[in-house]
Amino acid sequence: QQRQMTASEVRARKGGTPLVCLTAYTTPVARLVDAECDIVLVGDSVGMVLHGLPSTLGVTMEMMVLHGQAVARGLSRALMVIDMPFGSYEEGPEQAFRNAARLMAETGAGAVKLEGGIAMADTIRFLTARSIPVMAHVGLTPQAINTLGGYKVQGRGEDAHRVLADARAVADAGAFAVVLEKVPAALADRITAEVPVPTIGIGASAGCDGQVLVVDDMLGLFTDFKPKFVRRYAELGHAAGAAIAAYAEEVRARRFPGPGHVFGEAP
Ligand code: KIV
Ligand code: NA
């Protein structure tokens, strides 16, 4: 039985073989991704992907705890990182510590992730000084949709300085890795070169120190919309739709259940 990857092992992979990361929200999917991933993220994307919410803003601590517990049961080798939901950390370092400690204690996650750059540096410093490994997330931060004004590319032109400063600030504050979401590839490469911790790209660059995708996006299970940065490695949603249609047709035609699915008298 292999030991689980640690945040410091992830940190040490800077500049090495790219880190493989996917999300998971359930035990069976956690088992599948654990076989190939260095990091498994219990993302607050669970709200949109599994609960039908219009954004990640409605995700609660209770939802994260339940999905985190389910994912933990399916992992034996990947590092489990869990998202801090909107409203659970922004008030200040003490609130963030209380909720991060609860997520780790109740789920067994090895690290938390939170969104924000310079504005979250003090909080990241406070958590890491108190034994909570933090993955940061800069660029497009979906919990800030209402102030960003949409899911647009971040850091184009002069705005590159802001995203670079955010990435530097979270690394200085002790984050062991930083997610770069939806930033120009050249900026992602520059941040990867200048920041001493691994960058995990999503809609960023193949030059990042690792990549992450939402598992339901790459499997073709979440099809409400498809961001440009998603590659569908399978079309499981189509396969499921065809299977359900075949079942419905057989039920209506009384071809299901067949002789092998029903019971006779005592054998
Ligand atoms: O919630 C999530 O799934 C994420 C990743 C896409 C980085 O934050
Ligand atoms: Na997230």
Report pLDDT for 40.
98
* CA-nearest residue, atom 8 of ligand 1: 43
Report pLDDT for 266.
77
Tens digit of each residue's pLDDT (9 = 90 or more) over 9-38: 999 999 999 999 999 999 999 999 999 999
- Name the nearest CA neighbour of 72 among 19, 124, 31, 126: 31
DSSP 85: P
Burial group, residue 162, by CB count within 10 angstroms (0-12, 13-18, 19+): middle
- From the CA of 43, give the closest atom in ligand 1: 1
DSSP 213: E
Whole-angstrom CA distances from 83 to 28, 89, 95, 213, 214 are: 19, 11, 15, 14, 13
Query: Which residues are near ligand 1 (CB < 6 Å)?
Result: 23, 41, 43-45, 83, 137, 179, 202, 212, 214
Burial group, residue 199, by CB count within 10 angstroms (0-12, 13-18, 19+): buried
Distance between Cα 50 and ligand 2 center (Å):
13
- From the CA of 142, give the closest atom in ligand 1: 8
Q: Is 113 annotated as a binding residue?
A: yes
**Whole-angstrom distance, CA of residue 45 vs CA of residue 225:** 13
Element (H, E) at 139: strand 134-139
Per domain, the residue ranges of the chain are 7-235
- Name the nearest CA neighbour of 13 among 143, 168, 162, 135: 135
Report pLDDT for 3.
86
* CA-nearest residue, atom 1 of ligand 1: 43
Q: Is 115 annotated as a binding residue?
A: yes
The reported pTM is: 0.97
Report pLDDT for 1.
53
* CA-nearest residue, atom 5 of ligand 1: 43
Query: Which CATH number is associated with domain 7-235?
Result: 3.20.20.60
Q: Tell me which of 22, 26, 42, 45 to substitute to probe ligand 1's pocket, judged by most ligand atoms within 8 Å of the beta carbon.
A: 45
Three-point CA angle 203, 112, 220, nearest 5°: 40
What does the pLDDT profile of the chain (267 residues) look like in tens digits?
578 999 999 999 999 999 999 999 999 999 999 999 999 999 999 999 999 999 999 999 999 999 999 999 999 999 999 999 999 999 999 999 999 999 999 999 999 999 999 999 999 999 999 999 999 999 999 999 999 999 999 999 999 999 999 999 999 999 999 999 999 999 999 999 999 999 999 999 999 999 999 999 999 999 998 999 999 999 999 999 999 999 999 999 999 999 999 999 977
Q: Which residues pair with 83 in a beta bridge?
A: 113
- In this structure, the strands spanning 39-42 and 79-83 are parallel
Q: Which residues are catalytic?
A: 181
Length reported for the chain: 267
Longest CA pairwise span in the chain (Å): 78
Q: Is 44 annotated as a binding residue?
A: yes
